[in-house]
């Protein structure tokens, strides 16, 4: 896909089919991710590809958290969530190495955010959908344990769900004129 087209058409995908994604798409997206600009070349990102065993445990955690949030504990809702979380072909956690210096830490977050966008755009260039999520599951202490990430060393800044879109939403954007200023 042409770059500008990918930039303009990428959308956050909330619902996925259970179809597989092209072989090597994740590896290509990771190669794109680590090309993101990063000041002082800190390479502040770590990517954790979630395997099937941990994915199952995370799914159960996610279901419990969502049921509690919605105060809805019916078997039907649990089944719906199990399928929703199970459908995306891949789940990747992106964490940021925590630098002691607050300014460097802020810059590292910016760099890691660029890496996530590169990752998602690379996938979208192959018509593969993704969603950057900072929902409860990505921040829960059990998640750190399951992924073997030390919260004193790294912060999980995204769960990226990856898969074949079931539908492509089109949320509105504010018009360009409302966000761009030009000085004399
Ligand atoms: C830092 C960050 C965190 C996000 N976390 C969530 C999330 O937890 N759940 C969600 O549905 N979308 C999340 N999103 C996606 C945004 O909601 C989405 O980008 C926004 O609605 C605009 O839609 P678009 O990406 O299709 O343009 C997140 C995006 C960013 C940049």
153 near 147, Cβ under 8 Å? Answer: no
Interatomic CA distance for residues 147 and 165, integer angstroms? 26
Query: What element of type H or E holds 154?
Result: strand 154-163
Report, in this order, helix, strand and coil percent for the chain, each rounded to 5. Answer: 45, 15, 35
C-beta atoms surrounding 58 within 10 Å: 22
Q: What is the pLDDT of residue 1?
A: 76
Q: Which of 109, 93, 96 is nearest to 30 (CA)?
A: 93
| pLDDT, tens only, 27-41 | 999 999 999 999 999
Cα 105 to ligand 1 centroid, rounded to whole Å: 22
| pLDDT, tens only, 46-77 | 999 999 999 999 999 999 999 999 999 999 99
| pLDDT, tens only, 107-134 | 999 999 999 999 999 999 999 999 999 9
Cα 136 to ligand 1 centroid, rounded to whole Å: 14
Q: Which of 58, 54, 19 is nearest to 139 (CA)?
A: 58
Q: Closest Cα to atom 16, ligand 1: which residue?
A: 12
Cα 28 to ligand 1 centroid, rounded to whole Å: 22
| Phi, psi for 47 (deg, rounded to 5) | -115, 125
Tell the CATH topology of 19-48+90-167: NADH Oxidase (3.40.109)
Q: Closest Cα to atom 30, ligand 1: which residue?
A: 132
Q: What is the pLDDT of residue 39?
A: 98
Q: 90 - beta bridge partners?
A: 162
Interatomic CA distance for residues 18 and 13, integer angstroms? 13
Domain ranges within the chain, ordered by starting residue: 19-48+90-167
Q: Closest Cα to atom 19, ligand 1: which residue?
A: 12
């Amino acid at each position: 896909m042409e770059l500008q087209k990918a930039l303009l058409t990428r959308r956050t995908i909330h619902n996925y089919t259970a179809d597989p994604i092209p072989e090597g798409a994740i590896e290509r997206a990771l190669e794109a991710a680590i090309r993101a600009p990063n000041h002082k070349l800190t390479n502040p990102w770590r990517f954790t590809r979630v395997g099937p065993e941990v994915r199952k445990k995370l799914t159960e955690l996610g279901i419990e958290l969502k049921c509690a949030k919605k105060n809805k504990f019916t078997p039907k809702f649990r089944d719906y969530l199990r399928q929703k979380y199970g459908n995306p072909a891949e789940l990747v956690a992106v964490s940021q190495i925590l630098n002691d210096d607050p300014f460097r830490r802020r810059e590292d977050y910016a760099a890691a955010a660029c890496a996530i966008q590169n990752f998602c755009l690379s996938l979208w260039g192959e018509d593969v959908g993704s969603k950057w999520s900072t929902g409860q599951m990505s921040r829960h202490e059990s998640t750190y344990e399951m992924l073997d990430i030390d919260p004193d060393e790294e912060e999980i800044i995204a769960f990226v769900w990856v898969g074949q879109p079931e539908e492509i939403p089109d949320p509105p954007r504010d018009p360009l004129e409302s966000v761009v200023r030009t000085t004399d």
